[in-house]
A and B are shown apart, each in its own frame.
Chain A
Amino acid sequence: MEQLLLLIFLPLVGAIITAFTGKSAKIVSTVFSVASLVLALVVAGNFIPDASTQFEVNLPWIADLGINFHAGIDGISLLVVLLTNLLVPIIILSSYNHEYKNPAAFYALILFMQTGLLLVFTALDAFLFYIGWEAALIPIYFICAIWGGKDRIRINMKFFVYTIAGSLFMLMGIIYLYLQNPAHNFNIQAFYALNLDSAQQGWIFWAFFIAFAIKMPIFPFHTWQPDTYTAAPAQGTMLLSGIMLKMGIYGVIRWLLPIVPAGVHDWGQLAIILSIIGIVYASLIAFTQKDAKRLVAYSSIAHVGLISAGIFAFNQQGMQGAMVQMLSHGINVVGLFFVLDIIFSRVKTNRIEELGGIAKVAPQLALTFLIIVLGTVALPGTNGFIGEFLLLLGVYNYGIWAAAIAGLTIIFGAVYMLRMYQNVMLGETNSLTITFTDIKGTEKLVLYTICALIIVLGVYPKPVLHLTEASVQHLLEQVNQKLNTVN
């Protein structure tokens, strides 16, 4: 139990200390983020890969309102916790080629956000989950709005209001469940055990689903995403795409499916249709993008659409695929945005047509970028393949038409990603890219780490699958059992 508290609050302590460090904030925050990665690995080492919830903490917090500090880790949580604590140091290291003004605040906000994310991923109390959900939002809003690019104020206001609109309706749903719960608390097990009729489950489904759909984002709740990703500072984009959107996916798995299975049964098909529309729509728009950062932003919508379709398909393959793909997508998308950030910091543009020939002057960047792109387009042997294969299998088991459309877009994805790579990296150098310098120092460290992860997880994904298998199976059994009692 002490391990979990330490895991959650170490970044917060780091944030507070970092806030007072001034110029050395970069180093201090790196130390804390690496320490929390080590801690996460220790927790993973002590984790027994079965379906149980481990490292459980249950402390009274606001006893009069039935609110407890109740958190724990099972296989599903552990995966996203690992992802978070892996990506935060990578993201902090990736900022070494930037000199942000007021660095203490910048790095403190990143670490503060990490605690919020960890709360979301470990909470077993709905109120705590909600607190973490918002605690992760506030720092990222400030990161994007203070250090962001053009028109950042308007864009981030939209992002903020969108997200918080979703979460307030989710809060309404949570209060409703609390009142339905005879024990009057927010315990997740008590919520699982509730007997709600299908009408109740229907509206609770929507109250939660909209919050999660905005976060991921799923069509048609995605309109904030491309602008926000583009206007955010590179590290903000990485946090948003690498970790924050996993909050939505995790929320669906942890809260939506088990609490309102009948709601999912009634509305899941609509969710799959929306996801698939999102995949097609985002892929088509990605084709036409002239800005590489926007292209990656849209490709992210497509990838998340497939993950969400896999979850709502509701079978072992889809669910396991979603698990692996959450990890892979987080790693790959952070890599992509980092490469684009490196390019931007040297030539001050991400417009595809203005670039070209970078591979000639920067072969190491070209190699690592290629590996990341191949991971993103799910080439066999990379991490993206396992996830997408399982997801498609899951969707196929749900409906062949869905798998056909979703599968088609993977081909589209390969086309626009490779075309982007071709136009940016290959061809003749131009006046802009002739002076391009290859990666060095921390850039090398980060990109090679990411590439190593892509290949290792692609060749040997078994540890990840093994980690989550028991928990996923348990979840499916639990939900199916509950579904049978309702019908």
Chain B
Amino acid sequence: MNIIITISITAFIVLYAGLFKANKALLPLTVIGLLTALGFTFSAWNVNAVHFGMMQTDNFALAFSGICIVGTLLIFLLTQNYFHAKSDNIAEYYTLILFALAGMIMMVSYKNMAMLFVGLEIMSVSLYILAGIRKKDFASNEASLKYFLMGAFSTGFLLFGITLIYGATGSFDLDKIQAYLVNNSQTISPIFYPGVILMMIGLSFKVGAAPFHFWTPDVYEGSPSLITTFMSTVVKTAGFAAFLRLFADAFAPLHDFWVAPLMVIVCLTLFIGNVTALFQKNFKRMLAYSSISHAGYLLFSLIVLTKNSGNNVLVYAAAYTFASIIAFAVLILVKQKTGSDSFESFNGLAKRNPFIALCLTVAMLSLAGIPLTAGFIGKYLMFLNVMTEYKTLLVAFAILNALVGFYYYFRVIVAMWFKDGAETELSAPAQYKVVLLVSVAITLVLGIYPAIILNLI
């Protein structure tokens, strides 16, 4: 609870600071606010409090809140020279991102489906505005409109699903829904089933899983890169936490029913994400499609529910988030310099700035799932998870997709190290260096010694 309050208050303070044109104070204020929120996350560890029957800050919620806050913090550090060059009203960006974060904290800690809806909407509405924040840019406008229409549509699915489930069980509360399923396992109301499917569709929209992924590439490409970073990392993590809380918890007794459609979603997501990413000529669009494919791996944790499902998602989401932040940070730098986000603009980056190239290489190796990086541990846990029920065909299919992944992740490595490009200097501002170093350190530490994060939840 303290976490949400802190973040919301920070958002308002930042908004007022902007009103008084105290632009230099914005970042320090935000950082202080977020660090305080992070402090509350730690202090609430192992307490497992329920707030007004609406939210439950168990370790699951806190761990995901922690990742979201740290991710947001890193993204804020990337705003150096970014928004300042683009607009006067930077306080609004800060505020909107903070509001979105507050929504996400609700999404990862809800105990009541009404809260899920409220959190999701707080987050989504902020994001609709953020996607279109460059009001004179055509692509940004298109992204915003697409995102809004698709988002509103998917919210409709979600709400309809919530309604049907309420109709069947008479409650929004996750525990009561689960109790209903356990107690009436033979006489579950027929409207409960479509409710589950509709919610699955609604949430699949939000996390960008195929075949409900159509909005992602355009929105990711059109939005300002920093907002894309936010959407494809932190927002996605929160979406998966929400997905998991609902399906691995409340709907777990019906696992046999919803695993089949989920399997279809997983296979389509893996296949479409990977194969389409292969054909992209643009790094940013490639990352958008790769984020779809990662959604597929993340959903592995729901195919076989074990006591580790939540933790597996946590590890995978952390690995994916930090690697993506590196990728987008470098993308922003390269784009500022060359004006393009195609693969060619990365040519010869290793000569121009070996440090940046090395960081991006680690990120790509992690996304591809090479050992000694966090991405490998994430993939390994996902494979291990489904192998516990010996779903070898699914793993074999995922391996084939991972092989496709090597091709496109290595394309940027090839461009950076093996090709020659313009010899212009490319330097990273201090805050970028901090973000890159922190993210690389997390990626490697989780890859080499993942024991520190394995038993969190």
Contacts and interface: CB of A to CB of B under 8 A. Distances in A.
A61 B371 contact: no
B113 to A, nearest CB: 32
A134 B371 contact: yes
Nearest to B386: A175
B371 A131 contact: yes
Interface string B79-98: 00000000000000000000
A160 interface: yes
A135 B370 CA distance: 9
B392 A164 contact: no
B406 interface: yes
Nearest to B383: A175
Contacts of B383: 171-172, 175
B346 to A, nearest CB: 14
Interface string B384-401: 100110101001100100
A146 interface: yes
B47 interface: no
A64 interface: yes
A65 B392 contact: no
Contacts of A176: 387, 390, 392
B406 A145 contact: no
B42 interface: no
Interface stretch (B53-61, B127-135, B447-455): B447-455
B84 to A, nearest CB: 35
A172 B407 contact: no
Contacts, number: 68
**Chain B binding site: helix, strand, loop or mixed by DSSP?**
helix
A142 B361 CA distance: 11
Interface in A124-146: 130-131, 134-135, 138, 142, 145-146
Contacts of B407: 157, 161
A165 interface: yes
Contacts of A64: 451, 454-455
Give the interface size bracket for A toward B. 20 to 34
A135 B371 CA distance: 7
A138 B418 contact: no
Contacts of A152: 418
A179 interface: yes
A229 B300 CA distance: 39
Interface string A168-209: 110110011011000000000000000000000000000000
Nearest to A138: B370
B119 to A, nearest CB: 31
A304 B418 CA distance: 31
Give the contact-size bracket for chain B.
20 to 34
Contacts of B387: 172, 175-176, 179
B448 to A, nearest CB: 9
Contacts of B414: 145, 153, 157
Interface in B150-186: none
Interface in A50-74: 61-65
Contacts of B449: 61-62
Contacts of A165: 399, 403
Interface string A333-370: 00000000000000000000000000000000000000
Contacts of A179: 387-388, 390
B410 interface: yes
B258 interface: no
B454 A65 contact: yes
Contacts of A175: 383-384, 387, 395
Give me the 4 closest cross-chain CB pairs, A-B, nearest first. A134-B371, A64-B454, A168-B399, A175-B387
26 contacts: A61-B449, A61-B451, A62-B449, A62-B450, A65-B454, A134-B371, A135-B371, A138-B365, A138-B370, A145-B417, A146-B418, A153-B414, A157-B407, A157-B414, A160-B410, A165-B403, A168-B399, A168-B403, A169-B399, A171-B383, A172-B383, A172-B399, A175-B383, A175-B395, A176-B387, A179-B388
